[in-house]
Amino acid sequence: EAAVTQSPRNKVAVTGGKVTLSCNQTNNHNNMYWYRQDTGHGLRLIHYSYGAGSTEKGDIPDGYKASRPSQENFSLILELATPSQTSVYFCASGGTGGAPAEQFFGPGTRLTVL
């Protein structure tokens, strides 16, 4: 069973502050993803990565940066947090290249920006 962990699980931040959400996977998947979940929208893709050193923009990247320093770790960075970024953030991993593959999700991080 794939294992994806996220930290922190809950975070309260102030407007204008910097927030870093971390994700770790132990399955040697090349592909990792960050999504956010808001009521009425399902999950939407923010950034993704094909492997260490790579980051790509998803559908809603504005206000977010991503970092993939290693195969196992993928971070989502909010340089200047805003209340509109209050959401639940999910990290996922899946696949080792260009072929389709099942994705596995972490437990989510609930972020509140005041």
Binding site for other proteins (CB under 8 A): 31, 33, 35, 40-45, 48, 50, 56, 58-59, 88, 90, 92, 94-95, 98, 100-105, 107-108, 110
Which residue number, 78 or 91, has a Cβ lying nearer to other proteins?
91
User: In this complex, which beta carbon is closest to other proteins, that of residue 5 or of residue 70?
Assistant: 5
**Rounded to the nearest whole angstrom, what is the least distance from the CB of residue 37 to other proteins in the complex?**
8
Q: Minimum CB separation from other proteins for residue 104, in Å? A: 7
Residue with Cβ nearer other proteins (10 or 15): 10
Among the listed residues 101, 31, 96, 26, the one whose alpha carbon sits nearest the alpha carbon of residue 66: 31
Q: DSSP 3-state assignment of 38?
A: strand
C-alpha span between 90 and 79 (Å, rounded): 18
- Please spell the DSSP secondary structure of 39-77, one letter per residue: TTTEEEEEEEESSTT--EE-SS-TT-EEE--SSSEEEEE
- Minimum CB separation of residue 70 from other proteins in Å reads 19
Nearer to other proteins, 81 or 94 (CB): 94
CA atoms within 13 A on the CB side of 72: 6
104: helix, strand or coil: strand
Min separation Cβ 86 and other proteins, Å: 15
